[in-house]
Amino acid sequence: MARKKLRPKKSVSWIKQELLSITAVIISVGTLLVFLYQTNLVRKQQYMSVLPYLEFEHHAVFSDDYELILRNKGIGPALITSRNVVIKGQKYDLDVGRYLQEHIAVKDSVNFLISNVSRGNLISEKEGISMVDLEPNSSRSGLEKFYSLLYNVSNL
């Protein structure tokens, strides 16, 4: 009986293994690219969801116990980059408290506390700053001047 010599099929087996390895590397690189893309999307979404929203709150309006609060009603901290008071179209680099302080004379008999806001101040989420706190026992004419100055400010 003659025996046939069987050739080992190493070359075919080696090609299959190499092809499988290359396919695994391509899939891994593709997975990495998808992961990096998703991470970038999540980072952008997280950045865009931080949206501070500053709003003035008025408490006890037209009384001698008035308070004006600048409150962050948005999501995330609010960084103050500028402050302006607009009066009859004219823009001033002041906050409301400083504006009132400069325009109400001592003789008007209006007592109020102010907090100044400066560039670089940070207002945390759901927090506020009491900008103007009117003290009781102000004169009637002083209150009228106070409120007329306060409500002449067209854009805070």
Q: Is the pTM of this model over 0.85?
A: no
pLDDT value of position 61: 83
| Reduced 3-state DSSP string for the chain | CCCCCCCCCHHHHHHHHHHHHHHHHHHHHHHHHHHHHHHHHHHHHHHHHCECCEEEEEECCCCCCCEEEEEECCECCEECCCCCEEECCEEECCCHHHHHHHHCCHHHCCCEEECCCCCCCEECCCCEEEEEEECCCCCHHHHHHHHHHHHHEEEC
Q: pLDDT at residue 133 above 50?
A: yes
Q: What is the pLDDT of residues 54-80, one digit of tens each?
A: 998 998 888 878 899 999 998 888 989
CA 97, 99, 103, 106 dihedral sign is positive
The residue behind tokens 């997975």 is 31
User: Where do the structural domains in the chain lie, given as residue ranges?
Assistant: 10-49, 54-155
Q: What is the pLDDT of residues 15-27, one digit of tens each?
A: 888 899 999 999 9
pLDDT value of position 153: 56
Reported as a pLDDT band with limits 50, 70 and 90, residue 5 is low
- CA gap 30, 109 in Å, rounded: 74
Mean pLDDT, the chain, whole residue set: 83
